[in-house]
Chains A and B, each alone.
Chain A
Amino acid sequence: MKDTRVQEPCKYIPEKMVSEEEQKDHTSVKIKVLFFARARDLTGMTDMSLEVSPGATAHDCLNELISKFPGLEEIRNCMVLALNEEYTLESTVVKDRDELAIIPPISGG
């Protein structure tokens, strides 16, 4: 997956104008990943940008993140996954400029 990350100038296209065809033409999809709670400790970051192939799902993004940060495996089965601030299934295809949030539960008080 790493070798597909071709740097291409990111031109802004309003979401509504992007047809399915045009999406496929993109060589990569760039999303923003937000980390919360334990995910911050494990990655050492609060957010990062991630490039994935067109058609990649939230599941693919997670796998890509785990390959970058193997420690994330720890919370793989216990997190809320939100795409653009809404609950998402792992099968959802991510779009350019999407925001994927990884939210493990906090239990402290």
Chain B
Amino acid sequence: MAMDSNGAVETAADVRREISSLEKAKAQIEDRISALQARLNSYGLEDGSEKTNCSAPPPAEDLFSGKLSADMIYRYSRHLLLPSFGVDAQANLLKSSVLVIGAGGLGSPALLYLAACGVGSVGIVDNDVVELNNLHRQIIHSEAYIGRSKVESAAAACRGINSTVQIVEHKEAFRTSNALEIMRKYDIVVDATDNVPSRYMISDCCVVLGKPLISGAALGLEGQLTVYNYNGGPCYRCLFPTPPPTTACQRCADSGVLGVVPGIIGCLQALEAIKVAGAVGEPLSGRMLLFDALSARIRVVKIRGRSSQCEACGENATLTEQQFCNFDYEKFTQTPLSTSPLKLQLLPPEARITSKEYNEINKKGEPHILIDVRPAHHYKIISLPNSLNIPLGSLEGGLPEISAALEVNKAGDNSRDSSLYVICRRGNDSQRAVDCLHKMGFTSAKDIIGGLESWAHDVDPKFPTY
């Protein structure tokens, strides 16, 4: 605690509040600058000049080689000095446009490099807002943007690095209803999404519109990268005509991901996009790069060519724009396009209690056993006091332990039977566990609706979430 100049008592909370309010104001000013910069750039376009550094006087391009302005020569000099890249590839980059779908773990580094390297126009599609648990890997976003649109945040960061690049904001989810309209304007597409239906949708859209697709993915400690639909190469459906079962589809929010892994894959996506846009080197078409972070191994596997049987790009395939628009990707993959977690409804209401009800039971000191069925490494992060960790996968083996715990409680309080409650992270696995316990004879078992997330939301706001 300290006294401020007015003699009032100032607390750490006051300082934090002030910092937070100043940061918000700063972000708003940055946004306005970005928007003005973009407007300024569009003046340049209307003048009929190239998309150049419009904050400077109109460059006297004709005086030089005719391709790059003086500012551009200086900014991109290290590219120009590369014999295998040079002025031609840089000029190709400046003329190209790249659409990055997803401004998350993969999109963050991809966007930063694409903006920095001088791609003429970069489009960003995302519908999410920045959250604190994104920041360990989604390095384009900063704390000041928490709670705000990822597209706005990413666009501001890109403009901050290179104001000569045209940044186009698409603050919407990529859906069949808007996909064609958005993608049509770009030369190259970068898939930086995080779910299966989007991957099929984006690949199909690229086939329909004839765009090369730079596809990257990362989960846990592994990453994958390939270029689809390029120079007669395969599309996503050629490789994976049948979508994976939902059990095989894992999300970073459930399985975890080491932040730098999508970072590496996202950088490689930028690299492949630059190669395709600059028309240099051998893009990773017909090959797939597999990155294994723990063993520090990168393998490149030759994958199949275009499949003549492919329903999207095969010989007899006639995927039209209309068919694409009518295709139900969520139904096809049995997975929702939105990343919101599953809300299972397995148990009847009488076999469930809310976190608030459980809190009451706990406060009254009613004898009970609380089983936490999350994996052990989740339990280590945070758990409720006096809970017993028996992961769902080893529930059957843990039955004697549950019986023993119930017996101990019974011995302590002869008058009543001990109740059995089950909790997990979000309230899905706890239902599966209770269902299983009922079948094993523990008919009184109940699950806590919404799991620890609802505990943190409804009972104890200080309880950590992850």
Residues of chain A touching chain B, judged by Cβ–Cβ distance below 8 Å, are 36-38, 40-41, 46, 74-75, 77-78, 80, 82, 85-87, 101, 103-109
Contact = CB atoms under 8 A, between A and B. Distances in A.
B105 interface: yes
A86 B193 CA distance: 27
A86 B288 CA distance: 10
B107 to A, nearest CB: 8
The interface centre, meaning the residue of B217, B244, B252, B255 with most chain A CB atoms within 10 A of its CB, is B244
Given A77-B242, A78-B243, A80-B288, A106 B304 contact: no
Given A37-B219, A80-B301, 17 more contacts: A38-B248, A41-B250, A75-B248, A78-B242, A78-B248, A80-B239, A80-B304, A85-B299, A85-B300, A85-B301, A86-B301, A107-B193, A107-B195, A107-B219, A108-B194, A108-B257, A109-B105
A40 B294 CA distance: 13
- Provide the main secondary structure of the chain B interface: mixed
Contact of B290 (A38, A75, A86, A103): A103
Contact of B194 (A78, A104, A107): A107
A67 B427 CA distance: 33
Contacts of A82: 301-303
B248 A87 contact: no
Given A78-B242, A80-B288, A105 B224 contact: yes
B104 interface: yes
26 contacts: A36-B290, A38-B244, A38-B248, A40-B222, A41-B250, A46-B292, A74-B244, A74-B247, A74-B248, A75-B245, A77-B242, A78-B243, A80-B239, A85-B299, A85-B300, A85-B302, A101-B301, A103-B290, A105-B217, A105-B239, A107-B217, A107-B249, A108-B194, A108-B217, A108-B255, A109-B106
B192 interface: yes
B283 interface: no
A36 B248 CA distance: 12
Contacts of B257: 108
B240 interface: yes
Nearest to B255: A108
A108 B300 CA distance: 19
Given A36-B222, A80-B288, A109 B104 contact: yes
A80 B250 CA distance: 18
A87 B304 contact: yes
Nearest to B106: A109
Contacts of B299: 85, 101
A106 B248 CA distance: 9
Interface residues of B, number: 44
Nearest to A37: B222
Given A80-B239, A103-B301, A108 B218 contact: yes
Interface of B: 102, 104-107, 192-196, 199, 216-220, 222-224, 239-240, 242-245, 247-252, 255, 257, 262, 288, 290, 292, 295, 299-304
Given A36-B290, A38-B250, A107 B302 contact: no
B267 to A, nearest CB: 13
A74 B219 CA distance: 18
Pairs A-B, 8 closest by C-beta atoms: A108-B219, A109-B194, A106-B217, A78-B244, A109-B106, A86-B302, A87-B304, A77-B242
A40 B224 CA distance: 15
Contact of A78 (B218, B240, B303): B240
Nearest to A89: B304
Most buried by A among B105, B224, B250: B224
Contacts of B199: 105, 107
Given A38-B250, A80-B288, A80-B301, A106 B244 contact: no
A70 to B, nearest CB: 13
Contacts of A74: 244-245, 247-248
B244 A104 contact: yes
Nearest to B193: A109
B251 A108 contact: yes
Contact of B218 (A40, A101, A103, A106): A106
Contacts of A41: 250
Given A78-B240, A78-B244, A103-B288, A108 B295 contact: no
Contacts of B239: 80, 105
B415 to A, nearest CB: 46
A37 B261 CA distance: 13
A104 B255 CA distance: 16
A41 to B, nearest CB: 8
Contacts of A109: 102, 104-107, 192-194, 216-218, 252, 262
Nearest to B224: A106
A86 B252 CA distance: 29
A31 B96 CA distance: 46
